[in-house]
Amino acid sequence: MNKRPRVTKQRYGRYVLELVMAAVAVAFLFPVYALVTLSMKDPRQIADSPLAPPAPPTLGNFGDAWSSASLGPALVNSAVITTVSLLLLVVLGATGAYCLARRARGLGYGLYILFLLGIVLPFQLGMIPLYELVDDLGWLGTYHGMVFFYTGIQLPFTVFLYTGFIRALPPDYAQAALIDGCNHRQAFTQVVFPLLRPITGTVIILNAVFVWNDFFTPLLYLGGSDKETVPVGVFSFVGQYVSDYGLVFAGLVLAALPVLIVFLLLQRYVIKGFAGGLKG
């Protein structure tokens, strides 16, 4: 007679861990389910059974939310500000981190510590002088005022990620390019920067999520202008249509969809690049 194998403590612990992770996954997915479900219901269905699947689902809320909240111009504004900010962060962060990573002593190390202080100190401490500076420059309600702000705020974190990843790369690649006749700019752009693809994906994702979802700064710098971003547009929309939750949640889905698509396209780089930065 065969005996059933005993469940070891290790296997039992693995089962418990899997159950805990499944519960955590359900907890994280529940708000997404509620958001999508409510966006496809009319007011009557929401009042009767808010969390039940829509029967039948309606897509009219998305069209109404798009036209009522003026999400089209807001999406264009957010896309312009986010894209230009990311371009500057990648260019400035990668080049600056390359210089800091290859100069580990003296001035390079001191500048690296200075960038780390930019991560530790909360940017809210400088909101009033930054606002006065942007106002004096005449950049309130403009694209370049927001790009200037986001580039300065996120550059320390970007340099931190790039520096750690570059330090983990062998310097032989750049040295071989220099021996072959390249200057330092050519060695970086043609040899080193293509190797930074994983961390570049991480930089793009993390900074894009921050810039796209930021609400307080655009409300302060762009409020009342025609350059308002998606979070500010959704905020005014929610206040206007707070009684129609189907339209509200449809607007939230439309606002979150672009950055979600970007994350899904680049998600394989996030953990790899971030782990490389921490390792360095």
Q: Which tens digit of pLDDT belongs to each residue from 64-123?
A: 878 776 788 888 999 999 999 999 999 999 998 888 887 656 666 777 788 788 788 777
pLDDT given for residue 277 in this prediction? 47
Residue 70 gets the label, from left (phi > 0), alpha (psi -120 to 50) or beta, of: left
Share of the chain above pLDDT 70, in %: 88
Q: Is the pLDDT of residue 46 over 50?
A: yes
pTM of the entire structure? 0.81
Q: Is 187 exposed, middle or buried (0-12, 13-18, 19+ CB in 10 A)?
A: buried
Give the residue among 256, 83, 237, 226 at the shortest CA–CA distance from 218: 226
What is the CB-side half-sphere exposure of residue 11 using CA atoms within 13 A? 4
Q: Residue 72 half-sphere exposure, CB side, CA atoms within 13 Å?
A: 5
The neighbour count for residue 41, using CB atoms within 10 Å, is 25
